[in-house]
Each structure stands twice: as C-alpha cells, then as structure tokens.
C-alpha cells in the first residue's frame, strides 16, 4: 500500500473548485434515465452519452476532478477508438470505478438491504487498476422507516452495511485505489429532517468505528454522504440554511478531520437545490475538510434532456453540462449565487 499515492489521489479528488461526476449507473439505472428521453438502452447509446460528457471541455477540465465509471464503461472506447478512460485522463481528471454489485434484500429484515460485491473483489480491483482506475466507489443503502416506524434502519442493517463498506475500503487501499465510502440515507419518504439527522449520525458513527477496526487509513479515503434533509414528501420541508446547518453539524460530530474531503451525493434533489445546499455550507462554515459534489442525477439530468439522444443536440447537451458543472464548482467554493443560474454556459 502506497499511502502517499492514496492521499495524493484523495486530495486531487476534492481539489478546490472541482468535484466528481458520478457516471456509474448500472445498465438498469441508465435504462430508466434513457426511457425519460425515449432512447433505447443499447451499448452504443450508452457510449455516445458518456463520450459526449467526457468530451465536454470546460466542465471536464475545470470542474470535474474524477469520474465514477461502471464496469462496461471502463472497458469502452469512443467512436474514434480512444478509450473512455483516456478521454477522462486527457481532461486532467481521474478515472474511478463502482465496484459494488448492488443493494440486495437483507435476510430477516423486511424493507432493508445489504450491498454485495465482496466476493472476488481483490482480483477485480487489480484488474480495474490495470484499466486505469485510481479510486473506487461502494454505496450502502439505508432506508428510513415511515409513519413512525422507528425500527428501520435496524442496528443489524447498519452493522452489516458499514462492516461491508470497511472491508471494501481495506481491499481498495491494499490495491492502491482510494475508496469512496458512500453510506446513503435515502431521501424518499415523509420523514423529518431531524429523523434524517439521527439516522445519518447512526450510520456515520458506525462507519468510522468499522473503518478504524479494519485498519483503513482515513487519509486515503473520501466520504460520499447524503445531506441531512427532509424526506421528499415531508410536510414543511426544511429550507436551504437549515439543511446546510444540520448537515454540517452532523458531519462535524461524526467525521474525523483526517479525512481529505467529503463529496456529497444528490440523492434525488433538484439540480439547483443540490447546488444551493452545497454552496450554503461552503459559504457559511470553515471546516476541516473540503465539501464538494459527487453528483449523478444533479449533474446529468439537464444535459440528458438537452441531448435527447440526438447527434444534432450534442452542443446543447455539452452546454447544459458545462453550466451545471460550473454552478457546482462555484458552490464547492461558496461562490455560487442563484442569479448565476440564468447565465448561459
């Protein structure tokens, strides 16, 4: 394990003004995204979509530090034969890879899941390193029980998921790959922001205990958490400042200062909401770690709509991606303003 290399990569992933593009949708998930624009879910269409993003110069050169890829994508080439990994490198960004194999029903715990993918992971990581990956991602899914059901998440669910995240992280570091640890508390539901805080704290405290127990070097990791936020269908959803304050308070209580950076998931927030929340945290607080983005939907929804799967719309898709990447880059510095949303890319 080369700790200097791991720390250098982790710091580059959260460099000032930059964040991570989560383009690691599995085939099923990207199919749902394509369905929204009436596009068939084929390997060529998936390549064209991702090639368009990775060739978007301003976004990629100035605001994207790294890209999380899916197994198919890390092996794919652009139309001219350049590998997609090389396109990312050409932009000065770091290729990364999702290595979990998805959240599966957790035995004996209705409504809860455990993320799988540890079998054979050591060999897969060696293969991914050869293919160019310098960081990886594993996402644990934590649901919040609804309508007063405080039994979800269970201690059992939190324990097995955080244990698996730490096992994954230790294997990554052994392979000189920086693990992004992603314990996602799901936003769907009508729960309050206070309940989201409790569950996020429960998950993060358990996660850092497991990482310690399994010898994971925090300086060579990046945390990808949810924000502390009201459920999507909650009454009286918390406003921007409250989300920023409670998220920062929760992280300050749970995340050691040795962690090089925190890159949030968007989790179903609207594009602008995800940007505004990130900006509010960076504008108001001086924190031990940089706070940035590792967004999937909140970076891709606008370009996907503008592109709509048509070659003649590539410039429009890239303009939309440039715009969202720039807005989030500014938010990672606390320099975004809602009025900037009206500016063209």
Which residues form the interface with ligand 5MM (CB under 6 A)? 22, 24-26, 29, 68, 102, 139, 184, 265-267, 295-298
Q: Both tokens of residue 296?
A: 């999937």
* CB 125, min distance to ligand 5MM, A: 18
Q: Which is nearer to ligand 5MM, 128 or 295 (CB)?
A: 295
Closest approach of ligand 5MM to the CB of residue 20, in Å: 9
Q: What is the DSSP string of 271-334?
A: HHHHHHHHHHHHHH---SS-EEEEESHHHHHHHHHHHTT-GGGHHHHHHHHHHHHHHHHHHTTT
Nearby residues of 26 by Cβ (< 8 Å), 6 or more positions away: 70, 98, 102
Nearer to ligand 5MM, 5 or 53 (CB): 53
CB of 191 or CB of 224, closer to ligand 5MM:
224
Of 49 and 295, CB closest to ligand 5MM: 295
DSSP letter string, 174-237: HTT-EEEEEEEE---SS--HHHHHHHHHHHHHHHHHHHHHTT--GGG-EE-PPP----TT-SS-
For residues 37 and 43, give the distance between their C-alpha atoms in angstroms, rounded to a whole number: 16
Residue 224 falls in the annotated catalytic set? yes
Q: CB neighbours of 168 closer than 8 A, spacing ≥ 6?
A: 99, 100, 117, 118, 121, 136, 138, 179, 181
Tokens of 137: 């991602």
User: Phi-psi region for residue 73, left (φ > 0), alpha (ψ -120 to 50) or beta?
Assistant: alpha
Alpha carbon distances (Å) from 218 to 12, 181, 184, 193, 223: 15, 11, 19, 28, 10
Find the angle CA(182)-CA(185)-CA(188) to the nearest 5 degrees.
135
Minimum distance of ligand 5MM from residue 80's CB (angstroms): 26
Least Å distance between CB 266 and ligand 5MM?
A: 3
Q: Phi/psi of residue 96, each to 5°? A: -130, 175
Whose Cβ is closer to ligand 5MM: residue 102's or residue 334's?
102
CB of 175 to ligand 5MM, least distance (A): 20
By CB atoms closer than 10 A (0-12, 13-18, 19+), residue 4 is exposed
The yes-or-no answer on residue 110 being catalytic is no
Contact 140, 14 (CB under 8 A): no
**Least distance to ligand 5MM from the beta carbon of 202, Å?**
19
Shortest distance in whole angstroms from residue 122 CB to ligand 5MM: 21
Quick one: 128 or 315, whose CB is closer to ligand 5MM? 128
Catalytic residue among 25, 182, 184, 210: 182
Of 173 and 300, which CB lies nearer to ligand 5MM in the complex structure?
300
Residue with tokens 């929804």: 301
Annotated catalytic residue within 18, 98, 137, 224: 224
Positions marked catalytic: 182, 224
């Amino acid at each position: 394990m080369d700790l200097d290399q791991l720390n250098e990569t982790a710091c580059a992933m959260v460099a000032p003004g930059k964040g991570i593009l989560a383009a690691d949708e599995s085939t099923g998930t990207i199919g749902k995204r394509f369905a929204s624009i009436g596009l068939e879910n084929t390997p060529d269409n998936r390549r064209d979509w991702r090639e368009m993003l990775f060739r978007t110069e301003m976004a990629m050169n100035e605001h994207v530090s790294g890209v999380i890829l899916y197994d198919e994508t890390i092996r794919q080439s652009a139309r001219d034969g350049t590998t997609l990994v090389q396109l990312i490198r050409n932009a000065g960004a770091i290729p990364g890879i999702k290595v979990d194999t998805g959240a599966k029903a957790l035995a004996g715990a209705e409504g809860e899941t455990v993320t799988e993918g540890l079998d054979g992971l050591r060999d897969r990581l060696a293969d991914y390193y050869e293919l160019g990956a310098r960081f990886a991602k594993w996402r644990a899914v934590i649901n919040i029980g609804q309508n007063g059901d405080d039994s979800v998440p269970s201690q059992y669910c939190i324990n097995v998921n955080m244990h698996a995240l730490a096992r994954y992280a230790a294997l990554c570091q052994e392979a000189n790959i920086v693990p992004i640890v992603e314990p996602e508390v799901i936003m769907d539901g009508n729960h309050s922001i206070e309940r989201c805080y409790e569950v996020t704290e429960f998950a993060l405290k358990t996660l850092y205990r497991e990482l310690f127990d399994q010898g994971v070097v925090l300086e060579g990791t990046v945390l990808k958490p949810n924000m502390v936020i009201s459920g999507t269908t909650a009454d009286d959803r918390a406003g921007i400042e409250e989300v920023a304050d409670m998220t920062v308070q929760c992280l300050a209580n749970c995340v050691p200062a040795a962690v090089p950076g925190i890159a949030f998931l968007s989790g179903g927030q609207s594009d602008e909401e995800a940007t505004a929340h990130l900006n509010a945290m960076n504008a108001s607080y001086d924190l031990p770690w940089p706070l940035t983005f590792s967004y999937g939907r909140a970076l891709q929804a606008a370009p996907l709509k503008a592109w709509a799967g048509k070659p003649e719309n590539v410039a429009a898709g890239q303009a939309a991606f440039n715009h969202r990447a720039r807005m989030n880059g500014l938010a990672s510095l606390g320099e975004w303003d809602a009025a900037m949303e009206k500016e063209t890319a």
